[in-house]
């Protein structure tokens, strides 16, 4: 009865739009109080603190800092310009540019929400100016932002790797091929829609413009390349690579592009602290919520019930994907990850599923939740940034949601697409 009341409270708080981190904390405290578990309640602050005692989580503020530096340092705009110079002249070229630019920026930001917010401000006005509808411009910007957590470095991979004791470097490498597949799939969808709607095209860039844009973008591309090469060569860990990337971003912004000014550094650091605090608070609350779930023995009950249904790993992965579709509609991806990974890892181990493959699948699935109503945070962000009604955006993004799930199923049932690169590299 108590568990039912807590569940109803959880759903009610979500429906009235209370932030998910507050919902997780409140429901946990209410559960302990109703159960009379005062000793557990007294131990909660210690549990909250211990949830952050992991070296891997240090990469989160560092990669956020890197993203802030690159945005202020003019690196982002040069990546977008580079993509536009080479593919903007095709029919529907600016839509292709949006996808390709998101793939470039994914290696910088690693956060779908941050990327959706930034690209909405950059690309939607430009696409409207060239004749694209606001609905399509907003939907392609939102949909292509799901690439962000797949291509390394990825904040959501860092959290999964920390929770599951899986190599973060291997997860980074495993995300490369899926990220490329998603980019190709969206480009094919744009091509199909473009034929029906007669998309416009930009003027072809001259040879000198192409050469100039390529030269300008080289310093920007050196940052993700250094991160990946450094991890592969063993020179530094995934966490250390974030610090190296921050240093390189400073050098590029200050001395190569000279758009990063010292007076901007306090604002950059403040934004990093605020964004990090938001994510950290969510991790803390989700950690104590997961503690409550463990106290209720839900992981063990789930393992037993799932194994009673099937011991086939492929059926299990299909059931997980179906379940996560609904979870992603209601919960923030990071919160869901922190809650579900400790619950599901015993099943992953029992069924001999590759934890790297499973990690990529669960992370992609929860990221797609950013596109799905009623709680898809990406929908609210782009709706606000692009000044488009929520209902119109939901309708426009449906084709991209369908393609996203189709690619997800492809990656689920052909594991080699995910595991090929890390296995080839001996990770």
Q: What is the pLDDT of residues 340-372, one digit of tens each?
A: 887 788 888 888 899 999 999 998 888 887 777
The CA distance from 96 to 188, in Å, is 9
Taking residues 204-223, report their average pLDDT. 81
- What is the dihedral sign for C-alpha 180, 181, 185, 186? negative
pLDDT value of position 361: 92
State the Cα–Cα distance between residues 367 and 384, nearest whole angstrom.
19
Once rounded to an integer, what is the mean pLDDT over residues 363-386?
76
> Which range, of 175-189, 219-233, 238-252, averages the lowest pLDDT?
219-233
Token pair of 166 as six digits: 């899986």
pLDDT of 176-206, one tens digit each?
899 889 989 998 998 888 888 777 766 777 7
Strand, coil or helix: 311: coil
Mean pLDDT score, 142-170: 82
Q: What's the mean pLDDT when you consider all of the chain?
A: 80
pLDDT of the residue at 190: 87
Look up the pTM and report it.
0.76
Q: What is the arithmetic mean of pLDDT over 287-297?
A: 75
Among 141, 55, 35, 160, smallest CA distance to 97 is for 141
- Long-range CB pairs of 77-81, under 8 A, 24+ apart, other chains included: 77/122, 78/213, 78/216, 78/217, 78/220, 78/257, 79/104, 79/105, 79/108, 79/217, 79/220, 80/104, 80/122, 80/123, 81/213, 81/216, 81/217
Question: Residue 395, CB half-sphere, CA atoms under 13 Å: how many?
Answer: 7
Alpha carbon 236 to chain centroid, angstroms: 23
């Amino acid at each position: 009865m108590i568990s039912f009341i807590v569940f109803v409270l959880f759903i009610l708080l979500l429906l009235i739009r209370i932030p998910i981190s507050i919902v997780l904390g409140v429901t946990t405290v209410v559960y302990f109080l109703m159960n009379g578990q005062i000793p557990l309640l007294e131990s909660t602050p210690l549990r909250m603190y211990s949830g952050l005692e992991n070296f891997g989580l240090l990469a989160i503020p560092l990669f956020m800092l890197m993203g802030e530096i690159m945005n202020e340092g003019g690196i982002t705009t040069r990546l977008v310009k580079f993509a536009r110079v080479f593919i903007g002249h095709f029919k529907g070229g600016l839509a292709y540019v949006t996808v390709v630019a998101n793939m470039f920026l994914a290696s910088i930001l690693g956060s779908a929400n941050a990327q959706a917010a930034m690209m909405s401000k950059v690309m939607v006005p430009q696409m409207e100016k060239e004749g694209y509808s606001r609905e399509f411009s907003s939907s392609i910007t939102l949909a292509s932002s799901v690439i962000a957590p797949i291509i390394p470095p990825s904040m959501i991979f860092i959290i999964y790797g920390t929770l599951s004791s899986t190599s973060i470097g291997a997860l980074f490498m495993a995300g490369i091929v899926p990220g490329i597949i998603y980019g190709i799939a969206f480009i094919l969808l744009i091509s199909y829609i473009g034929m029906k709607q007669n998309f416009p095209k930009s003027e072809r860039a001259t040879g000198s413009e192409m050469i100039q844009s390529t030269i300008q973008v080289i310093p920007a591309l050196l940052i993700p390349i250094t991160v990946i090469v450094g991890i592969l060569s063993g020179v530094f860990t995934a966490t250390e690579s974030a610090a190296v990337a921050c240093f390189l971003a400073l050098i590029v912004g200050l001395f190569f592009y000279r758009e990063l000014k010292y007076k901007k550094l306090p604002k950059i650091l403040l934004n990093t602290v605020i964004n990090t605090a938001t994510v950290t608070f969510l991790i803390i609350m989700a950690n104590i919520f997961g503690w409550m779930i463990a106290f209720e023995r839900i992981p063990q009950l789930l393992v037993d019930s799932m194994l009673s249904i099937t011991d086939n790993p492929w059926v299990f992965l299909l059931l997980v994907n179906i379940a996560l579709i609904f979870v992603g509609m209601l919960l923030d991806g990071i919160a869901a990850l922190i809650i579900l990974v400790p619950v599901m890892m015993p099943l992953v181990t029992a069924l001999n599923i590759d934890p790297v493959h499973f990690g990529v699948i669960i992370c992609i699935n929860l990221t797609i939740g950013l596109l799905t109503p009623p709680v898809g945070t990406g929908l609210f962000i782009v709706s606000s940034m692009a000044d488009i009604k929520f209902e119109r955006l939901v309708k426009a993004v449906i084709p991209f949601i369908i393609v996203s799930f189709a690619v997800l199923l492809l990656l689920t049932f052909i594991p080699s697409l995910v595991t090929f690169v890390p296995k080839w590299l001996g990770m």
